[in-house]
């Protein structure tokens, strides 16, 4: 076909024959339910995630469309790929489905927010009485639409679940692998900051697939780089101090939140846990907590290198002018001064190998897996897969910090439900 013939096809519009089959619920939030779904297109099947929107409020529909427009433009190995929006006529959906979506309250959502690991998913390996969402042939019975954001399915876990699984076993993620995961989020943020500020960096929004690839997700409250939003956004425990004071967000806001994540997975301690109470009481508590200078991680646990501790402390400096301005700079320091300062260090493959061994409770390690993890070798030249989270593994100052944070996972592990 001649080149000029292609020009005549520009703007050609056509419908697809794709259908979506809901497999199961994998999470929920204040705005709706997140489903795993099979996408079928002329005999080709793939897995995607559908993020539903429970409300018909024009304001929230506009927010979802804004998220879709931001997220679909982000193409990076360490960011979950978003494909766009789907809209289904509400009246053509079964009452069991619409009732489930509409029944999600904001209070229930905050209690039950989760993204869990899905293991062994196989095409067609679920209840045959499944719901298939198709484009209707007849005029809809209800002119309202259910909006769904379509995203790539990441088979694996999130950093929050991974961290809590470790603590439940009396462990913490090995220091090099924790630093590696944070460095990958730095790379994701460095790329995203060219167009937006995430504003909701937290362990739950950092996914790790089974191959060890770390991916930042959920740009639902992201703002464009030129926007100056001063409303509360994100989770209080990870919110930068300037956000609490209703100051404009910039790249340093995300760097701070990521630094709090780093502190948590390195030490086991969430610096600013949110207590029960009203939102105003929670904000006041977190403000008071942030007014206290945090203890450097290497003084909490002796197995954290001082140079890594310094990088984390620069990420969470209360004064934004002393914080890393760019996530790229934090990532460079992590890679050059910590991860690869001595040569061989963590890779996607090594994190994937560790996750496989962690799932197997470190049984049956192969030579190839241990080769990927040889940076975990100690002075005795043996590879140490277990990084224990026992009382004796913390300094006295670190234990004092944990005692002042009742209700947190590490406090429960050490003082409420200690291992038998």
Exactly one of 200, 218, 333, 393 is catalytic; name it: 200
Distance of CA 167 to the CA centre of its chain: 18
SS (H, E, C) the chain: CCHHHHHCCCCCCCCCCCEEEEEEEEEEECCEEEEEEEEEECCEEEEEEEEECCCCCHHHHHHHHHHHHHHHCCCCCCECCEEEEEEEEHHHCCHHHHHHHHCCCHHHHHHHCCCCCCCCCCCCCCCCCCCEECCCCCCCCCCCEEEEEEEECCCEEEHHHHHHHHHHCCECCCHHHHHHHHHHHHHHHHHHCCCEECCCCCHHHEEEECCCCEEECCCCCCEECCCCCCCCCCCHHHCCHHHHCCCCCCHHHHHHHHHHHHHHHHHCCCCCCCCCCCHHHHHHHHHHHHCCCCCCHHHHCCCCCHHHHHHHHHHCCCCHHHCCCCHHHHHHHHHHHHHCCCCCCCCHHHHHHHHHHHHCCCCCCCHHHHHHCHHHECCCCCECCCCECCHHHCCHHHHHHHHCCCCCHHHHHHHHCCCC
Q: For residue 194, give both structure tokens.
A: 């060219």
| Four-point Cα dihedral 347, 350, 352, 353, nearest 10 | 170
Q: For residue 115, give both structure tokens.
A: 């993204």
- Do 262 and 182 meet the contact criterion of CB atoms below 8 Å apart? yes
Q: For residue 420, give both structure tokens.
A: 């038998």
- Catalytic site includes residue 200: yes
Distance of CA 196 to the CA centre of its chain: 17
Q: What angle do CA 293, 222, 145 make, to 5 degrees?
A: 140
CA atoms within 13 A on the CB side of 231: 5
Q: Provide the annotated active-site residues.
A: 200
């Amino acid at each position: 076909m001649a080149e000029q013939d292609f020009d005549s096809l520009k703007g050609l519009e056509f419908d697809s024959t794709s259908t979506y089959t809901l497999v199961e619920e994998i999470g929920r939030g204040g705005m709706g339910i997140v489903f795993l779904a099979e996408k079928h297109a002329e005999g080709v099947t793939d897995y995607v995630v559908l993020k539903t929107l429970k409300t018909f409020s024009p304001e929230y529909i506009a927010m979802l469309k804004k998220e879709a427009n931001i997220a679909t433009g982000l193409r990076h190995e360490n960011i979950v790929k978003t494909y766009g929006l789907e809209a289904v006529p509400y009246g053509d959906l079964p009452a069991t489905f619409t009732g489930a979506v509409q029944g999600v309250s904001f209070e229930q959502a905050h209690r039950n927010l989760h993204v869990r690991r899905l293991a062994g998913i196989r095409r067609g390996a679920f209840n045959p009485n499944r719901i298939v969402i198709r484009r209707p042939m007849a005029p809809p019975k209800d002119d309202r639409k259910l909006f769904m954001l379509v995203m790539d399915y990441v088979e694996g876990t999130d950093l929050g679940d991974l961290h809590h699984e470790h603590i439940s076993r009396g462990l913490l993620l090995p220091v090099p692998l924790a630093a590696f995961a944070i460095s990958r989020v730095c790379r994701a943020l460095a790329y995203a900051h060219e167009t937006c500020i995430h504003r909701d960096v937290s362990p739950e929004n950092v996914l790790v697939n089974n191959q060890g690839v770390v991916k930042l997700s959920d740009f639902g409250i992201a703002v464009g780089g030129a926007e100056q939003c001063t409303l509360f956004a994100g989770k209080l425990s990870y919110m930068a101090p300037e956000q609490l004071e209703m100051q404009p967000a910039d790249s340093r806001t995300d760097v701070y939140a990521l630094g709090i994540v780093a502190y948590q997975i390195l030490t086991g301690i969430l610096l600013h846990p949110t207590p029960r109470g009203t939102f105003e009481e929670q904000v006041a508590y977190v403000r008071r907590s942030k007014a206290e200078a945090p203890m450097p991680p290497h003084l909490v646990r002796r197995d954290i290198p001082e140079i890594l501790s310094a990088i984390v402390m620069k990420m969470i400096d209360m004064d934004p002018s002393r914080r890393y301005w760019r996530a790229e700079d934090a990532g460079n320091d992590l890679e050059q001064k910590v991860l690869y300062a001595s040569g061989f260090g963590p890779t996607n493959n090594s994190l994937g190998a560790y996750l496989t061994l962690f799932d197997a409770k470190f049984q049956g390690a192969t030579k190839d897996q241990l080769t990927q993890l040889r940076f975990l070798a100690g002075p005795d030249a043996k590879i140490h897969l277990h990084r224990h989270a026992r009382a004796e593994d913390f300094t006295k100052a670190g234990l004092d910090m944990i005692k002042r944070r009742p209700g947190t996972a590490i406090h429960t592990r050490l003082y409420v439900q200690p291992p038998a």
